[in-house]
Amino acid sequence: LGYTLYETLLYFCMEKWGTGKDSLMYIHHVCVLGNLVPVLCTNRLHFYSCWMGLVEGTNPCLSGVFFFPRINMKESIFVTISGVLLFLGFLFLRVLQLPYI
């Protein structure tokens, strides 16, 4: 919940700086909050919400893939490391979890 609120606030700040996200990202965050708030208020389904929240673990690597080229580090080892970690995170936190949800 905190990370989703943080990202939404960051997107609003990015709008002021002229580098904002498209409306699909806002809709995504509204849907996430729309699902998490009732879970927190009713004290039910926490296990599944936490399990599905694991996919957010790929966000730092995804940010690195886009961040480093923006600061003229396109050929940096950090882009490669971020890409490899993104792939591994996607595999372990998203794909391999599907049969268990």
- DSSP letter at 96 equals T
* Reported confidence tier of residue 80, pLDDT bands at 50, 70, 90: very high
Model pTM score:
0.67
More confident residue, 26 or 77: 77
CB atoms within 10 A of CB 65: 16
Quick one: average pLDDT of 9-35? Answer: 74
- pLDDT top residue among 51 and 91: 91
Quote the crossing angle between the two packed helices 23-42 and 2-17, to the nearest 10°: 150
